Every structure is written in C-alpha cells, then in structure tokens.
Structure 1
Amino acid sequence: MENTYTKHEIIEKAKELAEMIAQTEEVDFFKRAEAQINENQKIREKIASLKSLQKQAVNFQQYGKERALGLVENKIEQIEKEIDEVPIVQEFKQSQVEVNQLLQLVSNTIANNVTNHIIESTGGDVLRGETGSMVRNAPGGKK
C-alpha cells in the first residue's frame, strides 16, 4: 500500500526545497548583485529621482496635464535607460531571470510528475496523457 501524506507534511518538504533553492549559486549571485546596486550611490540617486518623477507623473495624469505628463514620462524613460546601462544592473536582471527560471522548472517538474503518477497509478497512458478511467471508458477501450 502506498503512503498517504498530509498537506502539512508536503508543506514541510516544500520548505526544505525552498531552503535548497535559497542556497543555489543563482540566488547567491542575485543577493550579491542586489547588495552592489544598493551600495552604489549613483544608482541610488537615479532610483530616488525616478521615484520622484513617477509620483509627478501620477499627479499630472490625475489632473489631465498631458503636456507635463509627456515631459515627465520622457525623463523617466531616460533615467530607466541610464540605470539599465549599468553593468551590475544588467547582471542583476539576468540573475532575476535565472532564479525565476529555476522556480518555474521546479514547479513544472512537480506538476508533471504528479500528473504522470496519477496516470500511471490508475493504469492510464502517460504518452497520451489519459488516466486509466479515460482509457477504459474511451470508445473501443477496455471495459
């Protein structure tokens, strides 16, 4: 007979998996890159002015000041471009992508394996993605 697990036991295993993911090279690089960005005075100044301009943009939008909004949006775009051109920012963004890909890979692996296990345990067809009851109840299937 197969083991039956509780939600609590599964959550505990998920926490163990999260701990493992948090200790990967990808996450380590992400943390170091973020720290370097936060320690960089020029980037901090650009981010501060970006936030200020974004607040102005919201106000101009609320009050229908289209021309002023357009000017502020251009400044925002310019500062974002300047920030994005800093090598450590590019590396940070790349590390975000890599961490997200790792999380997506784990999520997809779990989903696919659960699905395959259900199919196999019901005597289904993994290649066709059908559970045993689908195979048995299909036209011409085994009854």
Structure 2
Amino acid sequence: MSETVSRKEIIDQAEKLAKLIAQSKEVEFFKQAEQQIKKNQKVQNLINAIKFKQKQAVHAEHYDKNKALQDFEKSLDELNRELDEIPVVQEFKQSQVEVNDLLQMMTNIISNKVTDEIILSTGGDPLSGQTGGDNPITCTVPPNK
C-alpha cells in the first residue's frame, strides 16, 4: 500500500504548482497585456465611459425609464464594440482565455489522475473506470420508510 500524505503536504505542493503557473508564459503575457491596457489612454477613456453608462442604465432601470434604458444599452453596445476592436484589448482578452485554459487543464489533469489512482489502488481498471474488489455491488442503501 502507498504512503499517505497530510493535507498540509498537499497544500504545500499546490502552492508550488501555483508558483509555477504564475511563472508560465501565459501568465507573463497576461501581465504584459494588462500593463498595456492600463497605459492606453483611449482604452481607459472607453472603460470609464462604459462604467458611467452602466451606472446611468442602472438608474434608468431602477426608475422604470425604459426608453432611457434602451438608449443607454445601445450606447453601451457601441462602446463595448469600439473597445473590442482595439488590438491591445483583443490581446488582453486572448491572454485571459489562455490563462483560463491552462488553469482548466490543470484542474482536469489533477481530477483525472486522482480518479485513476483510486481505481488502480483498489485493483480496478482505469480504462473501464471500475474500481476493484470482490463484490461488484459497492453499496446498497435501504429504501426510506
């Protein structure tokens, strides 16, 4: 049987993995793209305009000003479209996708590996996804009365 590890050991290893991910090219590109966004005055002006219009839309919705709300929403769509057309914004959004993909991939790898290790440690077959053991019925729950 394999050696068990403590929760602290697992957390320590997770922190090491987090540091590795933070040093990845995907995260580095994300940080650079974020800095470019912060330095770009046109982007900042559009972001501020969007925030202002969002506040106006919330107020219009609160006071049941449907026509004004529609106008604000149309304006917000135009501002967001204009923002999305800026290359540095496109790069930033792409870098977000890449970092999220990396994190999702790591989550899937960990989940799959834990499942496989459980199956293997019980003498099961990872290809079928079945754990091992003498009894094919793993648990019977009596019906509620």
Instruction: Return the TM-score normalized by structure 2.
Output: 0.91
1:137 aligns with 135
Matches within 5 A, 1:33-44: 33-44=33-44
C-alpha separation in 1, matches of 2:130 and 2:57: 53
* Whole-Å separation in 2 of the counterparts to 1:88 and 1:137: 59
Aligned length: 137
Structure 1 residue 2: Cα displacement: 1.8
Which of 1 and 2 has higher RCO (CA within 8 Å, sep 6+)? 2
What is the Cα deviation at residue 137 of structure 1?
2.3
Query: C-alpha displacement at 1:138, in angstroms?
Result: 2.6
For structure 2, list consecutive stretches of 5 or more residues without a partner in the other structure.
Answer: 138-145
What do residues 88-122 of structure 1 show as CA deviations (whole Å, max 9, x unaligned)? 11011111111001001111000000000000000
CA RMSD of aligned residues (A): 1.1
Identify unmatched segments of 5+ residues in structure 1: none
Q: Which runs of 4+ in 1 moved over 3 A?
A: none
Identity %: 52
Q: Which residue of 2 aligns with 1:31?
A: 31
Task: With the length of structure 1 as denominator, give the TM-score of the two structures.
Answer: 0.93
* Correspondence for 2:71: 71
Matches for 1:1-143 after TM superposition, within 5 Å: 1-133=1-133, 136-138=134-136
